[in-house]
Chains A and B, each alone.
Chain A
């Protein structure tokens, strides 16, 4: 007899979500639903009628960890729609900003996943807040890496959280020679630290996944060798930056994309029949609670070639570097592997930047309503924004955010794992739930979702 257990809310990720899990007698997940329960803010709908200058600044506010991705993807979607080519030095500044944000985001995610892991060779779980070594120096290194990422982002992009420097047609300002040198020095320091940090993290991750049992709230949980495996395939548009519909060979195809409603995808109404008060911290949902993922999930299900796909660091490495490690372990290791790449690429971009170069396009068209899209490889994966701009007004705006792609894929990946490790699988995706929940899915033809919600 399968039972239903619910972990709500989930912790140590961005935003508000929950896991509804149908498990067998051994506590192994048969069907897992990971759903966003973040209130929908409807950025895509309120963007309509606003100017293309405003919308990227609003879209940026979707998320404070990866605002760069939204800001850049939205700006470039507008530029793709109006067909505006930006100067090369503006591109370099955007690349630097993007990479700086990725470094900071990886470091932040390290803090979030470390409490799951053990100090290698011991039975001690890592508490990033402890003053004891070796954890304290790791925590300090993480904070320095974040500081470096944010400072570089701040210089190139005006601000590290919600960049001010980006504009339609390029950037508002180029940086000074002094600022370029400062970015270069910081990137060099970051490079050394990122090597150390990635090495440490990969050792810790390997150690965790090689264990036979792990401890969750005093429960001894077997560690499956296939934790987080799925067969959904991968989507990535660039190893570092992204692609747009203005590219000669765009690496994303809008025709292969389709979005399903959560109603068609998630499980229907159920009752919680398994409760575990020991689950840290505060236990799982009370027995007898009614849950209904179909109605409660706040995101759409984007599909590529008719299937949900995985996006993120591993997808990028699979696509561009033949990475072949699967599961949660592969995911976490791929993320750490991006660390140094970020800094190497950033140093190249800083070298290539001409501080007296032009950063705004000479001519910025008003747009004729044609469709443009831009993808940005956010820390968590492919972030595609689609826009139509007509006469300097946004007519249509849509965001396909990494965690939206990953919701359905991760739900699949939960199958076969002990339910106590569901959150570990979920954290492997570095979920950014408020990113994912920026919209309400509305079937334009028959307004299905709106109707269902009203009933």
Chain B
């Protein structure tokens, strides 16, 4: 081990200086703030984000929709969308703990949306997809060169929509419509209701609801993003930010100079990188074991390993 956090140029604990924006953000508002800055500066001319039902009702033409998936618009199901303004960004802010196929909009962004410089946010696997599309563009003509800023978020595992439905409505005994925020932290799955209820579920009960595909993932902190960010390592309301690529460095530097973020050195905050490293290690070790298990899954037969 030792490479569990990937390559990065710098790492800080940060939060947005925009108070209005912070009200809607999951943690430090890094993704929303960074995209808002990049849109303003013309670094990107649109961003692919995970929006929601309310967003789709307000901006239907910004979402990938045809007649076939109207019935997929449910509370807390993420809907990939393309945003061009800060207001739209804020409307789409916040973590949805189930699958959002953001990469499905990647090609369309360069087509009917007419983007030249795309910003995209996603989990580590989605950052892998973006990089793969850039290097091996299969059916992805003109997409690679259009990707201007890829922001990755830390991800331990994800859930199908049905799992979230069950966790919230059965285990937490709350209607999805009345949920204000969900969060995984401090070893618990937290559900905050709009009327002030707070329910915490031990992570142990969520395990069986995880998406099985997450169990072969060897990336915790979005190693392939330009900038990756997540809550782990920083205090509440703050995010851990890792600046990785030249592009990331340049955008982050400009955003800092413009006063978009306040930061603290990661070494100064608790629990800091130590916890990030520990969790990354746990994820990778556990999932490597699953991968090894696939090699001898059958009698004299193996399951496929996408890494070899």
Interface residues of A (CB under 8 A from B): 151, 154-156, 158-161, 165, 172-176, 178-183, 355-356, 360
Q: Which of B61, B66, B112 contacts A155 (CB 8 A)?
A: B112
Closest beta carbon of chain B to A111's beta carbon, Å: 20
In the bound complex, CA of A159 to CA of B111 (Å): 7
Looking across the interface, which residue of chain A has its beta carbon closest to that of B62?
A176
Closest beta carbon of chain A to B3's beta carbon, Å: 38
Q: Is the CB of B114 within 8 A of A181?
A: yes
Q: List 27 A-B contacts (CB under 8 A).
A: A154-B110, A154-B111, A154-B141, A155-B112, A156-B112, A158-B108, A158-B111, A158-B112, A159-B111, A159-B141, A173-B112, A174-B61, A174-B112, A175-B113, A175-B114, A176-B61, A176-B82, A178-B45, A178-B46, A178-B84, A178-B114, A179-B114, A180-B114, A182-B116, A183-B114, A356-B61, A360-B67
Q: Which of B110, B112, B114, B116 contacts A165 (CB 8 A)?
A: B112
In the bound complex, CA of A156 to CA of B112 (Å): 6
Report, nearest first, the 8 A-B pairs whose CB atoms are least far apart. A179-B114, A182-B114, A175-B112, A173-B112, A178-B114, A176-B113, A158-B111, A155-B114
Looking across the interface, which residue of chain B has its beta carbon closest to that of A157?
B111
Closest beta carbon of chain A to B119's beta carbon, Å: 14
In the bound complex, CA of A180 to CA of B113 (Å): 9
Closest beta carbon of chain B to A96's beta carbon, Å: 12
Closest beta carbon of chain B to A362's beta carbon, Å: 10
- 0 or 1 for each of B81-94: is its CB under 8 Å from A? (1 = yes): 01010000000000
Q: Is the CB of B114 within 8 A of A176?
A: yes
In the bound complex, CA of A176 to CA of B192 (Å): 36
Residues of B within 8 A of A175 (CB): 112-114
Q: Is the CB of B142 within 8 A of A154?
A: yes
Residues of A within 8 A of B67 (CB): 360
B115 at the interface (CB under 8 A from A): yes
In the bound complex, CA of A257 to CA of B46 (Å): 51
Question: For window 60-118 of chain B, which residues contact chain A by CB distance below 8 Å?
Answer: 61, 66-67, 82, 84, 108, 110-116
In the bound complex, CA of A27 to CA of B67 (Å): 64
Known A-B contacts A173-B108, A360-B67; A178 and B61 likewise in contact (beta carbons under 8 Å):
no
In the bound complex, CA of A182 to CA of B114 (Å): 7
Looking across the interface, which residue of chain B has its beta carbon closest to that of A177?
B114
Looking across the interface, which residue of chain B has its beta carbon closest to that of A162?
B139
In the bound complex, CA of A182 to CA of B112 (Å): 10
Residues of B within 8 A of A355 (CB): 61
Looking across the interface, which residue of chain A has its beta carbon closest to that of B114?
A179
Q: Is the CB of B111 within 8 A of A155?
A: yes
Closest beta carbon of chain B to A186's beta carbon, Å: 10
In the bound complex, CA of A154 to CA of B61 (Å): 18
Residues of A within 8 A of B110 (CB): 154
- 0 or 1 for each of B16-54: is its CB under 8 Å from A? (1 = yes): 000000000000000000000000000001100000000
In the bound complex, CA of A155 to CA of B142 (Å): 11
Residues of B within 8 A of A172 (CB): 66
Q: Is the CB of B113 within 8 A of A165?
A: no
Looking across the interface, which residue of chain B has its beta carbon closest to that of A163?
B111
In the bound complex, CA of A179 to CA of B61 (Å): 13
Residues of B within 8 A of A159 (CB): 111, 141
In the bound complex, CA of A176 to CA of B113 (Å): 5
Looking across the interface, which residue of chain B has its beta carbon closest to that of A173?
B112
Residues of B within 8 A of A181 (CB): 114
Sample of 19 further A-B pairs with CB below 8 A, known A175-B112, A176-B61: A151-B142, A155-B112, A156-B112, A161-B141, A165-B112, A173-B108, A174-B112, A176-B114, A178-B45, A178-B46, A179-B111, A179-B112, A179-B113, A182-B114, A182-B116, A183-B114, A355-B61, A356-B61, A360-B66
- 0 or 1 for each of B123-143: is its CB under 8 Å from A? (1 = yes): 000000000000000000110
In the bound complex, CA of A160 to CA of B111 (Å): 10
In the bound complex, CA of A165 to CA of B64 (Å): 13
In the bound complex, CA of A165 to CA of B110 (Å): 13
Q: Which of A151, A176, A356, A360 contacts B112 (CB 8 A)?
A: A176
Residues of A within 8 A of B142 (CB): 151, 154
In the bound complex, CA of A14 to CA of B168 (Å): 60
Residues of A within 8 A of B112 (CB): 155-156, 158, 165, 173-176, 179
In the bound complex, CA of A155 to CA of B115 (Å): 10
Q: Is the CB of B111 within 8 A of A178?
A: no
Closest beta carbon of chain A to B111's beta carbon, Å: 5
Closest beta carbon of chain B to A65's beta carbon, Å: 16
Looking across the interface, which residue of chain B has its beta carbon closest to that of A160?
B141
In the bound complex, CA of A355 to CA of B116 (Å): 18
In the bound complex, CA of A175 to CA of B46 (Å): 14
Known A-B contacts A173-B108, A356-B61; A178 and B141 likewise in contact (beta carbons under 8 Å):
no
In the bound complex, CA of A156 to CA of B114 (Å): 9
Residues of A within 8 A of B114 (CB): 155, 175-176, 178-183
In the bound complex, CA of A165 to CA of B111 (Å): 10
Closest beta carbon of chain B to A25's beta carbon, Å: 53
Q: Is the CB of B113 within 8 A of A178?
A: yes
Residues of A within 8 A of B45 (CB): 178
Looking across the interface, which residue of chain A has its beta carbon closest to that of B66?
A172
In the bound complex, CA of A424 to CA of B45 (Å): 47
